[in-house]
């Protein structure tokens, strides 16, 4: 169902208020790794509004390698996130980690993110297929292209066609950076499916100094959008500060991605 052979025209996902994701536009989604406080949300929202970015990312349920690390503000954080974004015309993308959270979250999100660790949580994928909300599905930590496509097929075959695929880097032997951002995936996925393809350069390389280069490379590789981490003070972020750009860097990145897209 997700194959180009089955449907030739590209899928576009309409989030309402003129925010559409898919071929023909370049979507920018930015925000902190984790939602931390009301003040933080307000500062990020202001930064996005100033730069005409319509979609904010931010986790309230965080999959952390250590159980002692910050695991997110949960549903209360999401409700605060939702209130401030709605007041400012910003759409929300946030990670859902398990089936039981869907019902509580569904009224407060515009796009459900499925994280790399849950990329093959088939019960979660089935339930998101029934939920009828747009889904951004990340590639697994060591996931193949075929596994990503099959995971998307789970969602689609349950009746939800509003899916975007996300390349976020795969694990390799290399340890000079966090992951290897596999930009090969972009043209290959675009050829194989009609779904929008989004790139996450922040998790893909894991080092803030190179987020801009990899974002621009993603634009030129044919991505339909980029999702990256930004924070008012990356050094103080509760999670993933090392790969998070500040607002000044973010502003420059937005301008340069739009320039690059106009040349594509």
From 20-28, 78-86, 114-122, 210-218, give the range in contact with ligand PEP by CB under 6 A: 114-122
Q: Which does 116 bind (CB under 5 to 8 A by kind): Mn ion, ligand PEP, none?
A: ligand PEP
Give, as ranges, the residues between 148 and 167 that touch Mn ion (CB under 5 A): none
Query: Which positions from 51 to 90 touch ligand PEP by CB under 6 A, shown as an x/- string?
Result: --------x---x---------------------------
211 touches Mn ion by CB under 5 A: no
Beta carbons of 246 and 234 less than 8 angstroms apart: yes
Report the alpha-carbon distance of residue 200 to residue 137 in Å, rounded.
Answer: 11
Q: Which does 178 bind (CB under 5 to 8 A by kind): Mn ion, ligand PEP, none?
A: none
- Collapsing DSSP to helix, strand or coil, 16 comes out as strand
Q: At a CB cut-off of 8 Å and minimum separation 6, what does 254 contact?
A: 28, 30, 51, 53
Q: Which does 256 bind (CB under 5 to 8 A by kind): ligand PEP, Mn ion, none?
A: none
* C-alpha triplet 194, 11, 218: angle, nearest 5°: 65
Query: Which positions from 183 to 212 touch ligand PEP by CB under 6 A, shown as an x/- string?
Result: --------------------x---------
Evaluate the CA torsion angle 218, 248, 91, 121 in order and state its sign: positive
- Collapsing DSSP to helix, strand or coil, 34 comes out as strand
240 touches Mn ion by CB under 5 A: yes
Among 47, 54, 168, 208, binds ligand PEP (CB under 6 A): 168
Report the alpha-carbon distance of residue 153 to residue 161 in Å, rounded.
Answer: 9
Report the alpha-carbon distance of residue 250 to residue 258 in Å, rounded.
Answer: 12
36 touches Mn ion by CB under 5 A: no
| Residues found near Mn ion in the complex (CB under 5 A) | 33, 240
| Residues found near ligand PEP in the complex (CB under 6 A) | 33, 59, 63, 115-117, 138, 168, 203
């Amino acid at each position: 169902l997700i194959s180009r052979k089955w449907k030739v025209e590209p899928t576009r996902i309409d989030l309402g208020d003129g925010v559409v994701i898919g071929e023909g536009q370049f979507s920018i989604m930015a925000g902190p790794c984790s939602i931390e406080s009301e003040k933080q949300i307000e500062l990020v929202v202001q930064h996005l509004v100033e730069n005409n970015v319509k979609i904010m990312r931010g986790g309230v349920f965080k999959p952390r390698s250590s159980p002692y690390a910050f695991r997110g503000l949960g549903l209360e954080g999401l409700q605060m996130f939702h209130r401030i974004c709605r007041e400012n015309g910003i759409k929300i993308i946030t990670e859902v980690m398990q089936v039981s959270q869907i019902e509580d979250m569904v009224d407060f999100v515009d796009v459900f993110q499925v994280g790399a660790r849950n990329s093959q949580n088939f019960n979660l994928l089935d339930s998101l297929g029934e939920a009828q909300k747009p889904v951004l599905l990340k590639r697994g930590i060591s996931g193949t292209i075929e596994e990503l496509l099959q995971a998307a097929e789970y969602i689609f075959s349950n009746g939800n066609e509003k899916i975007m695929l996300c390349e976020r880097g795969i694990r390799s032997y290399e340890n000079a950076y966090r992951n290897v951002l596999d930009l090969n995936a972009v043209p290959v996925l675009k050829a194989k499916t009609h779904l929008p393809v989004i790139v996450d350069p922040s998790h893909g390389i894991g080092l803030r100094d190179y987020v801009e280069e990899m974002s621009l490379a993603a634009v030129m590789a044919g991505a339909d959008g980029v999702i990256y981490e930004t924070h008012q003070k990356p050094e103080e972020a509760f999670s993933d500060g090392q790969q998070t750009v500040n607002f000044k860097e973010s502003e420059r990145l937005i301008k340069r991605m739009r320039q690059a897209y106009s040349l594509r």
